[in-house]
């Protein structure tokens, strides 16, 4: 059974077709990268999958069940979590508070929620900042906080929307390590990313979209060598070693 | 651990003073003023459940005060039902109305929600002012309803002295504060605050934001209506302008914003600061400058919003915590 299946997904905003007949699937335990130029419809596709927008047509199923019109909070409880490209922490609350909101998805009791949140903060090396207000965090820590909150809901499938944008190279390496480790822990990951070095290193397969349509799919190597991809997105100078 | 114990210890004198005050203070005038102070602190704490934690700005809570006041008064005047029972009926009625208002309006953002709640409360006031009978119930239009102080006693929620009212409203206040404290540490409290700050992020983390807000609104309107019954029994006379007025809705919001929305201490601090202003300005300037207190509130609100946007509770809480920390760090001598 596929973890996620998207079939002929179309999303129109008025006269604009943001996602155009997109079809893709994720196996359990896979890391799938989604790349494409700005405005290609990557985040819109994510938002359709995460229940923010209802698809215009097409079908989305999660663990074999159709989830087209499921609301975001129910999807979260069923094991689908996501981060936001523009991070959305609860700014006046501490880091710990932010993560506890996530861990309440699987428990009613505050001590247990707090214990789970602390475990995740420890895992992501955010422990020493647990009492810092979210609005005072650096961008790298805010991105990590997005992941921490999403992980606290105990997802089976995690959608990461540009969690590496704005990070320093060493921080990118750290994020790549975390993503691989999460997969080893049994989380399936679907990742939008612009940093080619990272997405090529981390993905099992990559899907490329342009003007809402899929123009290529395959292993990082085949995609990087694809002429249409080079023309639409990577640029002539991009070479893969 | 020790700091927590100090915190509890420091609350003790406050509780002792609050409960012991009528033993030393016998002036009915001052007791009246303090009763109203507690009444407003109670109202604002109830308002705070939705206006503070859920991050919206309801400006029509007087509607619930009115529903509570009119429900219990009509039931006791026309049917001889004890106001205590009427209090619960008013609470349930207000809950229903609160949910009905909340269903469509919680989708609105910011000022639009505030305007919708004002419109509802004003609509209710105009309606009550212009009809004498609502079905079989006699509301008596703009003249209001008078409760004759005949059957004095606890069962009838009617007393000849101020002290019983003092203790009733104090118990109500302590109760609503305890409830707020428990909610702020529960899943519902986390979900409300998360949904108030970043609804989209909260939803993606499993929070049904609209449902949480409705629950908060239901609790808040229920509790607010109880205060309406208290007010009716305390003053023994209600009319649309006294219990469903815009002034009342606004004063609650003023107290909350100046004291600090979304905190437990905020409504208390706000009431402590603003109620004396309100009373003194009415005593000394009531004839020459009616409404002076609202002007003062406005000025104070502007200053607070500029210098302490989280309300006065923030710097005070910080100072208080620092003091406790220092006390806790000191080798104990005989605490």
- The secondary structure of residue B311, as a DSSP letter, is -
pLDDT at B332: 56
Rounded to an integer, what distance in angstroms lies between the CA atom of residue B59 and that of residue B118? Answer: 5
Partner-chain contact B206 A84, CB within 8 Å? no
Partner-chain contact A91 B186, CB within 8 Å? no
A90 CB-near residues (< 8 Å, 6+ apart): A97, A98, A101, A134, B193, B194, B197, B198, B201, B202
What ipTM was predicted for this assembly?
0.91
Q: Kindly state the percentage of chain B with pLDDT values over 70.
A: 98
Q: May I ask the CATH class of domain A4-88+155-234?
A: alpha beta
**Average pLDDT for residues B137-143, to the nearest whole number?**
91
When the pLDDT of each residue in chain B is averaged and rounded to a whole number, the result is: 92
Q: Lowest mean pLDDT: which of A87-96, B9-18, B44-53, B224-233? A: B9-18
Contact status of B330 with chain A (Cβ, < 8 Å): no
A153, B205 contact by CB (below 8 A): yes
Partner-chain contact A149 B201, CB within 8 Å? yes
| Averages of pLDDT over each 10 residues, chain A, 241 residues | 93 93 95 92 95 94 94 96 95 96 95 96 94 94 95 97 91 93 95 91 94 93 88 71 43
Partner-chain contact B204 A90, CB within 8 Å? no
**Candidates A49, A102, A108, partner chain B, best to mutate (most B CBs within 10 A):** A102
Query: Residue B188: which CATH number?
Result: 1.10.3470
Q: Per the domain annotation, does B335 fall within a domain? A: no
Q: What is the tally of structural domains in chain B?
A: 1
B75, B137 contact by CB (below 8 A): no
**Average pLDDT for residues B271-294, to the nearest whole number?**
87
Q: Per the domain annotation, does B334 fall within a domain? A: no
Partner-chain contact A72 B204, CB within 8 Å? yes
User: In the structure, what pLDDT confidence band is assigned to residue B335 with cuts at 50, 70 and 90?
Assistant: very low
Q: Per the domain annotation, does B51 fall within a domain? A: yes
B/e letters for B266-285, b = 16+ CB within 10 Å, e = fewer, are bbbbbbbbbbeebbebeeee
pLDDT at B333: 54
Q: Per the domain annotation, does B209 fall within a domain? A: yes
Q: Per the domain annotation, does B333 fall within a domain? A: no
User: pLDDT digit string (tens) for B206-225?
Assistant: 999 999 999 999 999 999 99
**Nearest alpha carbon to residue B258 among B248, B244, B243, B268:** B268
- Is a pLDDT exceeding 80 seen at residue B25? yes
Q: Lowest mean pLDDT: which of A43-47, B68-72, B147-151? A: B147-151
User: pLDDT digit string (tens) for B79-89?
Assistant: 999 999 999 99
pLDDT at A29: 94
**What range does the domain containing B98 cover?**
2-327
**Nearest alpha carbon to residue B132 among B225, B69, B88, B70:** B70
Q: Which of B186, B204, B208 sits opposite A82 (nearest CB)?
A: B204
B99 CB-near residues (< 8 Å, 6+ apart): B214, B217, B218, B221
3-state secondary structure A178-209: HHHHHHHCCCEEEEECCCHHHHHHHCCEEEEE
- Domain ranges (residues) in chain A: 4-88+155-234
Q: B-contacting residues of A 179-238, CB under 8 Å?
A: none
């Amino acid at each position: 059974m596929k973890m996620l299946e998207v079939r002929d997904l179309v999303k129109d905003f008025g006269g604009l077709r943001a996602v155009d007949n997109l079809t893709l699937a994720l196996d359990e335990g896979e890391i799938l990268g989604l790349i494409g130029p700005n405005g290609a419809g990557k985040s819109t596709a994510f938002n359709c999958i995460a229940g923010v927008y209802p698809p215009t047509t097409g079908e989305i199923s999660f663990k074999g069940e159709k989830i087209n019109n499921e609301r975001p909070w129910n999807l979260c409880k069923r094991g689908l979590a996501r981060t936001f490209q523009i991070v959305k922490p609860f700014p006046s609350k501490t880091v710990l508070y932010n993560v506890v909101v996530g861990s309440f998805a699987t428990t009613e009791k505050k001590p247990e929620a707090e214990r789970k949140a602390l475990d995740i903060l420890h895992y992501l090396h955010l422990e020493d900042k647990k009492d810092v207000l979210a609005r005072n965090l650096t961008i790298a820590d805010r991105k990590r906080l997005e992941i921490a909150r999403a992980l606290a809901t105990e997802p089976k499938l995690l959608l990461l929307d540009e969690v590496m944008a704005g990070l320093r190279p060493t921080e990118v390496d750290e994020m790549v390590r975390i993503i691989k480790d999460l997969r080893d822990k049994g989380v399936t990951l679907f990742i939008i990313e612009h940093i080619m070095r990272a997405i090529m290193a981390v993905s099992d397969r990559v899907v490329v979209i342009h003007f809402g349509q899929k123009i290529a799919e395959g292993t990082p190597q085949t995609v990087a060598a694809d002429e249409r991809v080079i023309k639409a997105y990577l640029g002539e100078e991009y070479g893969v070693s | 651990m020790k700091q927590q114990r100090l915190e509890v210890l420091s609350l003790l004198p406050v509780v002792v003073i609050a409960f012991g005050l009528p033993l030393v203070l016998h002036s009915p005038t001052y007791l009246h003023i303090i009763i109203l102070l507690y009444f407003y602190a109670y109202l604002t704490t109830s308002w705070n459940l939705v206006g503070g934690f859920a991050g919206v700005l309801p400006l029509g809570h007087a509607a619930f005060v009115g529903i509570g006041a009119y429900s219990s008064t009509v039931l006791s005047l026309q049917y001889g039902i004890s106001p205590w029972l009427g209090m619960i009926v008013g609470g349930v009625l207000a809950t229903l109305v609160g949910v009905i208002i909340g269903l469509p309006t919680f989708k609105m953002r910011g000022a639009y929600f505030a305007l919708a709640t004002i419109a509802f409360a004003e609509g209710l006031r105009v309606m009550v002012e212009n009809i004498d009978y609502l079905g079989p119930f006699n509301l008596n239009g703009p003249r209001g309803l008078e409760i004759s102080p005949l059957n004095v006693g606890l069962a009838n929620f009617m007393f000849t002295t101020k002290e019983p009212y003092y203790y009733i409203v104090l118990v109500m206040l302590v109760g609503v504060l305890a409830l707020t404290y428990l909610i702020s540490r529960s899943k519902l409290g986390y979900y409300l605050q998360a949904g108030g700050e970043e609804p989209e992020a909260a939803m993606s983390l499993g929070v049904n934001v609209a449902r949480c807000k409705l629950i908060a609104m239901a609790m808040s309107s229920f509790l607010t209506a109880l205060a309406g019954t208290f007010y009716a029994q305390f003053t023994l006379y209600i009319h649309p302008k006294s219990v469903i007025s815009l002034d009342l809705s606004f004063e609650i919001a003023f107290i909350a914003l100046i004291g600090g929305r979304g905190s437990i201490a905020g409504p208390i601090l706000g009431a402590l600061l603003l109620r004396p202003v309100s009373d003194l300005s009415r005593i000394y300037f009531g004839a020459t400058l009616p409404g002076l207190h609202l002007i003062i509130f406005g000025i104070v609100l502007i200053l607070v919003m500029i210098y302490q946007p989280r309300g006065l509770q923030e710097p005070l809480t910080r100072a208080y915590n620092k003091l406790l920390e220092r006390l806790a760090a000191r080798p104990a001598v005989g605490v």
